[in-house]
Every structure is written in structure tokens, then in C-alpha cells.
Amino acid sequence: MSALHFFFRFGPTVLVGAPNLAMANSPKDLGLLAGTFLVGLGALEMMLHAFGL
């Protein structure tokens, strides 16, 4: 069951985060885009955890 749970968290994260590679013009841009994405993902996870979802 945990492998299935991992896939449903990791799969969409890769699908949503992958376009960062195409949008970045330099390694610095890639770092900024990926960092912003991860901060937003962390905030979303925190809110879902806080509301028990």
C-alpha cells in the first residue's frame, strides 16, 4: 500500500515539476523555478496535513 501511496505523490510531482527543465535558460533559473515549486508544494502538503486530508 505504501508503494501505491508513494507513486500518487511522486508521479504528479514529476509531471508538474518537469516543465521547469524546459523553461529554464540557465542553471540559476532552474534552481529558482525548482525552489519556488518545492516551496509551493511544501505549503500545499502542510495545509493538506493540517486539515487531515
Per-residue pLDDT reduced to its tens digit, 29-49: 888 888 888 888 888 888 888
Q: Determine the straight-line distance between the first and last CA of the chain, rounded to whole angstroms.
A: 17
Nearest Cα to Cα of residue 32 among 24, 44, 41:
24
What is the pTM (predicted TM-score) of this model? 0.61
Q: How far is CA 40 from CA 1, 4, 21, 46, 47, in A?
A: 26, 23, 17, 10, 11
| Of 6 and 52, the one with more pLDDT | 52
Asked if 52 and 38 touch (Cβ cutoff 8 Å), the reply is no
Asked if 20 and 36 touch (Cβ cutoff 8 Å), the reply is no
